[in-house]
Each structure stands twice: as C-alpha cells, then as structure tokens.
C-alpha cells in the first residue's frame, strides 16, 4: 500500500482504495459531486421486470450455454446446466423472453414438443446457418424458467406463422388439466398442469426480420393475433394477473409502428387489447456493429457510452407518441431488446454474435438501468440481449467452464432496486470530454425498498479519474463497487475475478457521507442517518 499511497492525493482516497481492493487509481477530482436525495418523497415503482433476460436460439446461447442434454457429463438437471441455474437464481431474474428475436418469427412450436428423437431438425437461417435440433422446446424452456423462478415471456410467430398456430400454442401451455385435447397432449408429454404465461410478445421486429411489414399491415395482423391468442389459465384471466400482450413498436429511428399501434389501440373494439409496446435499442457506435469488445481506448469507450445514453431520448420520444393516445399511461413500454452489440470475437462464427464483456459493459449496464428507472412511469419491462454467450451476456461458458461477466455483477448488485420506489435525486453530473464526445462525468439514481431502506446507484463514467460523491443528510453508506484496472478489463475462464464487486463504505462529515469512486466504476450503496 505504500507504493499506492504515493500516487494518490489524500489519505482518504488511499483508505478507500484499500477497502475496495483495487489497483492503483487515477487521481481523484478536486471537488466532490453532491448528490441530493429527497428521501421523504417517492415516485413510480421500478418494476422488477426491467431486469428481464433474453434467451434466443442463437449461437451457443441455448445449446451449450443453457442446455447440455440429460446425458451430458456437465452437471445438469433434466438437461439444464446446474451452474447456470445457480448463477441466475442469484439475480432474481423476473422474466425470460424466448424463443427470440428473429428466430421467433420462424419458430413453429410443434417442432419442439414430444420425443426428442422425433423433433424436426432445421437450419437456423437467421443465425449462422447451423442445424437447429429443437431439443430445447416449450417443456424445456418452461422447466428452466421454473428452476430460476422467472416468468415466461413468450414471443409468438406473426412473421411466418398463423393466428391459429399461436392460439393453439397458448392453449397447449395454459389450458386447465384435461380440459381440452391440447391439454391432454401436454400431459402426455409430461406436464399435466397448466403453465402461466404472464407476458406475450405479438411478433418481433416485423418491420425487419419478422416479415418486412408496413406499420399498417402489422397492426392488422397484430389485432388478429391479440384477438385469438387467449390465455386459458384460470389464474390469469382477470385483473393484474392477466397476461400482458406486447405489440411491436420502435423501428430503428422511426416511430411509425408505435404511432399506428397506438392509434389502433385508442379506438380498439372489445375483442382485442394490448398492454404494451416494445422498443429495441442496441449500443453499437454506428451500424454495422464494429466497436471492439476488448483492446479499445478512451475514444472508443466514449463512443459507446455516448451511444448508450441516447436510450433516454428514444424512450422520451416513444413516450411522447404514446401520450397522444394514452395520456393516462395505461400502456407500458417494453424495452425488450437492449445492450451492447459489438464486433464479434475474432475466429468465431459471425452469425453467433459472440463477444467479450468488459468493465465498459458494466458501466453502460448501470447507465441504461438508471434511465429505465427515471422512466418508471412508462418502462415496465426490459430484456437485455442476451443471457448467455450472445451479445452483452450475463454468463460465458465453454464446455464445463463458466465465468460471470461485469454485466452479471451489475445486475446482481442492482437486486435491491427491484420493485423499489424511486426517490428524487439532484446532482451536477459534470463533464468528461474526449474529442467530440462530451459525457456526464457521473450518474446517480436512488430508490426506497419496501422496508424503507434507501439505496443509491453511483456511476463514475470517467475512465481516467476517480471522484468523490457526497450525499447530504446521511451519515453512513455501505455496499459494493465494481471496477477494474482498465475500462477494457474482462473476466476469463483463467482469470474469472479481474472484474468483481468489492466492499465500499463512505465517510461521515458535517456535509453528509462521502464515497470515493474509482474511474469507470459502478457502486450500489445503502445509506442511513
């Protein structure tokens, strides 16, 4: 620690560095950022479903990442990896969106039920042109969701399917025991009791891979599907427990889908309804995705962060369109695809969308979730893309090996925010400037859980310098911080803890409690008087 102490300005920063167990930090900024929290006031609830996951039949996201088969030497329960289930349970995953994505609009559910050796083998034309065995189908997915305690978010096939097919699938899953022929077929395949389907996606990106439909054509299709895909589970027919149906919205930089969906909903007849409209936004730094996942410098760091921060304006724009037809905010926004889409790992199948996951990904995760929390009046569902081995994954696997990513750690640190009530926060974000990019230096969000405990998220966006945050009105602050030696640091199978949370605590003074943040870091702390 003596060598470290020589490189820092104050004894306080040295003590905090020792506490959180990181390497030599950059110099802290001279003035502390003041984050004021009005804990006496509360706002909308941060719906736990904004921490949803996404598992598409893409690359090794399902096969190898989640499903290894019942005969695999890798420890599993009914073919589902035990290590992955254990890791995901710690996140209290609220929902998982499946089977896609683009794959959903070529998925025919009957291909994935019944004896595994009788299931149709096809080519996954969307992702890598590889065979799809359909070994992981409805029963396997529902089993997995139950294992981790998550709700099922099912995307039905509008692109190449029919309303009758979607209707039969939902009946197969939700009809009461023995009540219909499909319920009896479900029982014959091993599950007599009905499942719950709390969330239903009415297509996926039907402006693109889901059929290249015009907005007006999609709305006519969506209305038919919304009419005929009925949930038969008696526990999901009325009130708050009723299945939530999500229509397709935002198309890249266009709002025509959202406009047409909302216009139709405003005057909808009794036979159909929806509860939300989707929004998809990837952090790419420009299309096609090209930013490197590793080995990047501060300029590429700034490009990615600047891009991810546009999520706020996109939600604002979609909310404004929805407000024209729904000023009471009865319908939600479901940001059911979001995350970093970077250049694929060299040597991998580019159609597998495989990429590493760095400390930069941890920072942009926190920034996006904080944005969702600020829009908690509209944003009720979000699904990061994706859960395992694909894009901005929680978990990476290779055979029997598994490693947790920085993104996973942020999700785990943010568990206290699930269903907590937002509290007003004011602060001067400051500036981090890199070339033509000017970013907020810090970000903060606060919420009060059901027990009345106040939790605060603090993000130091600056990749070059540490900073101090003072929270007036509180005397103690304790929690965890996630940082790393460099913004492009990653966890590997050989070195799985390079980026991992460490304990952090604040120091009380007459001004409140002060927390010292390293560069490119995310902290979640509970504060008390």
Identify whether 205 is a catalytic site residue: yes
d(CA 505, CA 516): 9
Residues making up the chain, counted from first to last: 529
Q: Per 3-state DSSP, what percentage of the chain is helix, strand, and coil (rounded to 5)?
A: 30, 25, 45
Rounded Cα distance, 93 and 149, in Å: 7
Cα-based distances in Å from 258 to 154, 157, 321, 323:
20, 19, 7, 11
Residue 482 near residue 423 (C-beta atoms within 8 A): no
Active site residue 171: no
- Of residues 132, 140, 300, 337, which has the active-site annotation? 337
- φ and ψ of 81, to 5 deg: -55, 130
Q: Which of 106, 132, 205, 259 is catalytic?
A: 205
Beta strand 199-202 with 244-247: parallel, antiparallel or unpaired?
parallel
| Cβ–Cβ under 8 Å, residues 523 and 471 | no
DSSP 87-155: HHHTTT--EEEES-SGGGGG--GGGGSS-GGGSPPEEETTTTTEEE---S-HHHHHHHHHHHT-EEEEE
Q: Residue 319: count other Cβ atoms within 10 Å of its Cβ.
A: 18
3-class secondary-structure state, position 275: coil
The residues, any chain, with a CB within 8 Å of residue 452's CB and separated by 6 or more, are: none
The DSSP string of 494-517 is SSTTSS--EEEE-EEETTEEEEEE
378: closest CA among 43, 152, 40, 38?
Answer: 43
Instruction: Write out the two tokens for 362.
Output: 């941890």
For the record, the structure tokens of 186 come out as 């479900």
What residues are annotated to the active site? 205, 337
């Amino acid at each position: 620690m003596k060598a470290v102490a020589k490189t820092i300005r104050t004894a306080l920063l040295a003590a905090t560095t020792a506490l959180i167990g990181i390497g030599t930090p950059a110099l802290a900024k001279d003035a502390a950022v003041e984050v004021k929290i009005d804990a006496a006031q509360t706002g909308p609830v941060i719906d736990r479903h904004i921490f949803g996951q996404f598992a598409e039949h893409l690359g090794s996201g399902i096969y190898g990442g989640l499903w290894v088969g019942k005969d695999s030497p890798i420890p599993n329960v009914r073919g589902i990896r035990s290590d992955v289930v254990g890791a995901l349970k710690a996140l209290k995953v609220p929902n998982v969106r499946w089977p896609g994505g683009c794959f959903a609009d070529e998925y025919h559910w009957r291909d994935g039920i019944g004896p595994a050796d009788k299931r149709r083998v096809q080519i996954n034309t969307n992702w890598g042109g590889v065979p799809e065995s359909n070994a992981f189908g409805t029963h396997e997915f529902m089993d997995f969701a139950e294992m981790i305690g998550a709700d099922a978010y099912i995307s039905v096939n509008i692109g190449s399917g029919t309303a009758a097919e979607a209707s039969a699938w939902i009946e197969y899953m939700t009809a009461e025991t023995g009540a219909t022929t499909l319920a009896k077929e479900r029982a014959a395949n091993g599950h007599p009791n009905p499942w719950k389907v709390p969330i239903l996606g009415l297509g996926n990106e039907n402006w693109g891979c889901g059929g290249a439909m015009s907005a007006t054509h999609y709305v006519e299709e969506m209305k038919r599907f919304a009419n005929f895909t009925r949930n038969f589970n008696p526990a999901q027919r009325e009130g708050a427990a009723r299945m939530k149906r999500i229509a397709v919205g935002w198309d890249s930089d266009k709002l025509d889908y959202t406009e047409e969906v909302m216009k139709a909903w405003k005057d909808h007849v009794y036979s159909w309804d929806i509860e939300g409209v989707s929004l998809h936004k990837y952090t790419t730094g420009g299309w096609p995705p090209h930013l490197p996942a590793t080995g990047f410098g501060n300029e590429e760091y700034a490009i990615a962060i600047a891009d991810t921060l546009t999520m706020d304006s996109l939600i604002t724009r979609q909310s404004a369109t929805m407000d024209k037809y729904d000023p009471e905010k009865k319908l939600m926004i479901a940001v059911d695809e979001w995350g970093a889409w970077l250049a694929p790992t060299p040597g991998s199948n580019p159609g597998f969308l495989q990429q590493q996951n760095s400390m930069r990904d941890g920072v942009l995760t926190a920034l996006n979730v904080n944005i969702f929390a600020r829009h908690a009046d509209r944003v009720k569902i979000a699904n990061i893309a994706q859960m395992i081995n694909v894009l901005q994954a929680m978990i990476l696997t290779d055979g029997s090996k598994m490693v947790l990513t920085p993104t996973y750690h942020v999700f785990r640190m943010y568990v206290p925010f699930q269903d907590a009530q937002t509290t007003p926060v004011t602060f001067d974000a400051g500036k981090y400037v890199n070339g033509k990019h000017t970013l907020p230096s810090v970000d903060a969000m606060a919420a009060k859980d059901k027990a009345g405990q106040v939790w605060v998220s603090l993000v130091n966006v600056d990749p070059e310098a540490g900073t101090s945050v003072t929270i007036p009105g509180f005397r103690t602050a304790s929690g965890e911080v996630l940082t790393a030696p460099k913004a492009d640091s990653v966890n590997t199978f050989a070195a799985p803890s390079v980026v991992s949370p460490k304990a952090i605590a604040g120091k009380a003074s007459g001004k409140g409690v002060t927390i010292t943040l390293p560069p490119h870091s995310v902290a979640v702390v509970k504060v008390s008087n």
